[in-house]
């Protein structure tokens, strides 16, 4: 929860609930680390499991659409200003 700077009332800050692209950011960072360092020990101990857990999370967030395709709905993009966006380009790019 946050506080509205004009009214002082408590308001829901949606980025804390639907800014889920961060899960994909972490998986991407792990993969980039491995690609740059070749640290197989890290990947074997932690990296692959982390990436698998991220994939499980994303598979739980996919929603079938009327168009027959899968969608990632109701997210906040990385700019943090546009809330409740369906198929945010940044999020979709990292997930797919």
Residue 35 pLDDT = 98
Q: Which residues are catalytic?
A: 80
Query: Residue 75, Cβ neighbours under 10 Å: how many?
Result: 24
Q: Answer whether 86's CB lies under 8 Å from 17's CB.
A: no
What is the tens place of the pLDDT at every residue in 10-67? 888 777 788 888 999 999 999 999 999 999 999 999 999 999 999 999 999 999 999 9
Alpha-carbon dihedral sign for residues 82, 87, 93, 94: positive
């Amino acid at each position: 929860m946050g506080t509205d700077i004009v009214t002082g009332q408590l308001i829901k800050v949606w980025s804390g609930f639907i800014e889920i692209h961060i899960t994909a950011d972490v998986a991407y960072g792990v993969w980039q680390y491995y690609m740059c360092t070749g640290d197989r020990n890290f990947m074997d101990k932690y990296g692959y499991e982390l990436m698998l857990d991220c994939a499980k999370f994303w598979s739980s967030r996919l929603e079938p659409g009327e168009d027959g395709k899968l969608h990632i709905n109701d997210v906040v993009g990385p700019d943090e200003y546009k809330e409740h966006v369906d198929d945010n380009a940044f999020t979709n790019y990292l997930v797919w």
